[in-house]
Amino acid sequence: MSNEKPHQNGKDANASITAGRAGETRGSPTIIGINGVPSVRRPNTCRQTISTATRLNNYATGQQSVDNLHKSTEAKSHCSETRCKGSFMLPNVRTNTQPRPPQDVLSHAQDFIDQYYKHIKRSETDAHAKRLAAITESIASTGSYQLTDQELQYGAKLAWRNAPRCIGRIQWTKLQLFDARGITTAQEMFNILCSHLTYATNDGNIRSAITVFPQRTDGQHDFRVWNILLIKYAGYQQPDGSVIGDPASVEFTKICERLGWKGEGGRFDVLPLVLQANGEDPEWFELPKECILQVKLTHPEYDWFAELGLQWYAVPAVSSLLLDIGGIEFPACPFNGWYMSTEIGCRNLCDVYRYNLLQTIANKMSLQTTSNLTLWKDRTLLEVNVAVLHSFQKARVTITDHHSASESFMVHMEKEQKLRGGCPADWVWVVPPMSSSLCPVFHQEMLYYSVKPSFDYQANPWLAKRNGAAKSAMRKGVTFKGAAVAVKYFAHKMKEALKQRFKATILYATETGRSKQYAERINRMFSCTFDSRVLCMEDYDVVELETETLILIITSTFGNGEPPENGEGFARHIAKLVRENQGDCPKVENGGGAQAPRLDCEKYCGGQRRPSVAEHQLNNPLIESMNDQPLPLSNLRYSVFGLGSTAYPHFCAFAHALDAQLGMLGGERLLEIAEGDELVGQEVEFLNWAENIYQEACDTFCIKRQDASDMVMGTVPTAPDSSWADEKFRIVPEAEGVRATDPHMALYRLHGKQTFPCKLLSCKNLQAPSSGRATNLVKLDTSEEEKLLYEAGDHAAVFPQNREELVEGVLERVDCALSPNDLIKIECREEKDDNNKDLNNKWVKYQHLPVCSLRQALKCFLEIAKPPPSQLLKIMAAYAIEPTEAEALVKLGRGGNKYDNWIYSQYPTLVDVFDRFPSLRVPAALLLTQLPLLKPRYYSISSSPSISPGEIHLTIAVVCYQTQNNDATRYGVCSNWLGSIAESNIVPVFIRKATKFHMPEDKVAPMILIGPGAGIAPFRSFWQQRRFDMLRLAQRKGTSQDLERLGDMTLVFGCRQSSIDNIYMSEMQEAKAEGLLTNVWTAYSRDPDKPKAYVQDLLFQNAHQVFELLSRLRGHIYVCGDVTMAADVSKVIQSIGVDVAKMSDEEAKYWVTGLRDENRYHEDIFGVTLRTAEVTEQKRRESYDIRKHRQSPTQTQSRERSSDNNNAV
């Protein structure tokens, strides 16, 4: 809302209300009126600020509230015991420009910092204490200090929240900050303010914003905006004393003319900006027309209204106030809201000391104006306001009416009463100048006081310049034409200013590194126009969320719709925020006991979400705010890109959850969530989203956008400025004496994971020799690694090595002057001078890989067994000598379905690419800088640390399969490597906690364990842990009754044949005999002596027992295995609810969902394995159909034309 009021030319119209009722007795609010009916007095506006709670009455509702917030103010009231200044226009004006004494600055600083750290819920922490200590030290040495970006943004919002004269404060959390504290000249001030106005105008969808210029230092070098408003009409005084234009602007118009400005003499000439930088003489600048949105005023019924030629500007931007935050004063801090209609219709157009159009319009309406009894003024005023509302709505420019504004303020006041114990308010200013007693604010008592941070009135800057200073500044001005030239001249500085103002944070969470690659690629695009940065979610300080302007999120989904490990902390924080602000985030058990907030990812898989800000009512933004409490992310714009596989039941669930809940917290969704399916079209979807979000972000922040396609199509960056160019990278030998980096330290630097060197104890194939397949029990020695801790259900991540034949095959096709066994160093050419690239160029070490040889890099650190990324193929095309091969590589490099089909039919290794394109040879530097990193492989741990201390057991199905055309054999990297290395070889390992798959903390709770094939892996650790629990109980008590305190454990296992792949048959039989397993149900799918069955069939056959265990006994169900099996099990459990409990389908679905919410339905899911080609192909077809349905024809054509309309490779 605007605070636009006449500055010095007269009192607020509300003052007449006070004067007109001055004879009423204030001490008694109610008197007996005619016929004994109670008559309500106007509320008392002159309450003294005292140290006790103050009761405030609402005479319309009869309710009473208590204000305690005023007790926190130290400001003296401008009223006394004998007189009230409540109706004064400017009761307190700051005339002293000298800075505060250091002791006062420190006192204010401590109070504000305490408020800030309480707000971010870090009060009385080490960070809080360190910040106060740093501020104290700075004030002691310099007399002042600098606010952080986050503190400034919070302080500016809080100052608006504390502004007692603003009726639209309910929107205080949505204030956009432009931090201009780094500027030094008036020209830079002008550039920033032009961008401020462009952003705020937003084609009529007005956005509240504030620009903060440098703080006051010694009082002699202030930055000031001389204008009262950034946009205001001139007032030309005529010789006869009349005024053309706005009479309230006469004095400032004369000042502008003395400075050299010449207006056109019209009624609606926009005044120039007069800006003072660093205490120097002011300079004036003509505002470009594109920065000024004006609305022609018409009436819905009176056609003649348009003939009056009236108009008004859309953005009310107050620029004369001082911002006071934590003892720091900012004399230049223009800010804007949007108009309430009466500010234009009543005050600006109809006040007698403004445009004074009441008589003119009344005559046009043919009203009798000679007598007040006709109420001609009221009737005219009403129609003028109707015209204003009609015109702004017709032009689709944001505005609110005074009734909605009043209602929103009452909601705001009630919320503030609950949140802070009070709400400072100036009744005289808050009550609208029209229909006053019809508005609820009229009947509400209010307490007028000042709390910090605050916006304060200050003396006009020209008063200090009158003694000679203005004369020296007479020629300092820039015309509209000159402004255009200046803006062009300062274009490069404008770009820097844009970067400073508009920050973009790109967050990613990943298990494999793909999300990070995409994040770095889109950062290359955004860094051209934004001050962008890329952070992993685990490295992001979540406190910054409330001060972010733009966030892009790129994340995968792990397991059963859960966040990746490096996104779990961020997910918990979002869940906590939602719970605090919405109450819509259920508590779930974490491992059986502790309560922890989490994102309910499954709930949002269907795309449920809160409407974005852009979808709210355009012309009355207060209506939506009335229904919501202040939301912490109201100032945030965001977009989410999810990576996943439609083979999983909860595709991109974590991304959907973040997208929905950021909206619930008040964020504005710039684009609908986009999904990248690894089975088909992931690259195309990312390119579409990247281009669209870049363009949308530039439009949102009013930035001229660059061509996005070339930027996003570049190679995958792996470090700053890592885009490939042949002359940019080189390989040189390492200096003598330099040793290869320790392998575990190398892995830590590459992946940020502390690995543990574990010796291979044994690797035994559990399947029969006649099987033709292999499932290995791998045992690792961890006895020397005391910090390697795990629980039953956790995962072990293993860093493998590539097969020797692949490494040799690649070495044969790369060009490198050095031996593949020599230690090498990658260097990148660093350019220091953009104007002369031949100067100051030097080679610097490229910090991507550790010190190693080319052979070791290909064997241990780089991914060569998977298909190369499409971007890499595009680069490699330049090194193919044969033109047809180069053309084919270019086509594959475009991504799309051509690339996807090639991958899923052949799944080629890097060696296969070289074999397919014989003329291709590439520089070694290309592979070393552009190949993806070799990622760890995750396996469920099959041992209990209590039973097998100093060891980790893994149950690993060895991956070996034929491609679709049976023309090549593919080998799983890690499973085959573990099966090929000798005992005592070192295996790098780290532990990934799987807290959602731990055994119940309540050991009485029964469990159903479902794991066909290698899915039995974690359950071996379960029954081993149960053996330890039983032994411990037996040692403590020694009675069978105590042993019965352990819940039943039913294992449901599935394999092909009992004699071939029932891999833990003897152990299961032994466990059942010992009472570790209550039941063992085994399904055989290909046993000639047994009926064909799957684990789902066994569950249904034992439906009553399963339902009893899950429902009455509140047991837990654990599922581990293939996604298809897991989905089928979920359906069977639902069908059991229908069949046994006679639930409806919908009730059964909610029952299963409830099991998940209560953390009693646990899943540890593999993706579709490469051996199940028919399932993979089906999923790809389904995913392609969905993607094609979602895409608009334009999107489809823009991406598919370049990839699908070409000949097959």
Q: Give 277-311 as a 3 state SS string.
A: CCCCCCEEECCCHHHCCEEECCCCCCHHHHHHCCE
Ramachandran angles phi, psi of 44, nearest 5°: -70, 125
Binding residue positions: 166
Which one-letter DSSP state was computed for residue 348?
I
Q: For the chain, give percent helix, strand, coil, nearest 5.
A: 40, 20, 40
| Cα–Cα distances in angstroms (integers) from residue 246 to residues 232, 234, 249, 344, 497, in the given order | 9, 6, 6, 12, 34
Closest CA to 657 of 542, 535, 575, 547: 575
**166 catalytic residue (yes or no):** yes
Nearest-angstrom CA–CA distance, 899 and 1203: 8
Which one-letter DSSP state was computed for residue 99?
P
What 3-state class would DSSP assign to 205? coil
**601 catalytic residue (yes or no):** no
Residue 1044, amino acid: E
What 3-state class would DSSP assign to 145? coil
Question: What are the start-end ranges of the H helices in 202-346?
Answer: 250-258, 341-342
Cis peptide before 453 (omega within 30 of 0): yes
| Contacts of residue 467, Cβ cutoff 8 Å, sequence gap at least 6 | none
Strands, E assignment, 439-541: 454-456, 477-478, 503-509, 531-536
| Contacts of residue 525, Cβ cutoff 8 Å, sequence gap at least 6 | 690, 694, 708, 711, 712
Which of these is catalytic: 151, 283, 286, 343? 343
**860 catalytic residue (yes or no):** no
Residue 300, amino acid: P
Residues 816 and 729: beta-carbon distance below 8 Å: no
Beta-bridge partner residues of 923: 815
Name the token pair of 246.
Answer: 């706005």
Name the token pair of 373.
Answer: 């009894």
Q: What angle do CA 151, 639, 683 make, to 5 degrees?
A: 135
Residues 245 and 253: beta-carbon distance below 8 Å: yes
Which of these is catalytic: 42, 151, 161, 166? 166
Which one-letter DSSP state was computed for residue 512?
S
**Cβ atoms within 10 Å, residue 184:** 11
Closest CA to 1125 of 1020, 1010, 998: 1010
Nearest-angstrom CA–CA distance, 1208 and 892: 10
Residues 533 and 506: beta-carbon distance below 8 Å: yes
| Cα–Cα distances in angstroms (integers) from residue 183 to residues 252, 278, 497, in the given order | 25, 10, 9
Name the token pair of 334.
Answer: 């223009």
Q: What angle do CA 771, 776, 780 make, to 5 degrees?
A: 170
Sign of CA dihedral 894, 895, 897, 900: positive
Which one-letter DSSP state was computed for residue 170?
G
- Go through the chain and tell me how many residues it has: 1209
Strand-strand pairing, 637-644 and 674-677: parallel
Helical (H) or strand (E) element with 922:
strand 922-923
Which of these is catalytic: 47, 100, 165, 169? 169
Nearest-angstrom CA–CA distance, 1063 and 1053: 10
Nearest-angstrom CA–CA distance, 456 and 451: 11
Residues 1011 and 1018: beta-carbon distance below 8 Å: yes
Binding residue positions for heme b: 166
Nearest-angstrom CA–CA distance, 961 and 975: 13
Give the residue numbers marked as catalytic: 166, 169, 338, 343
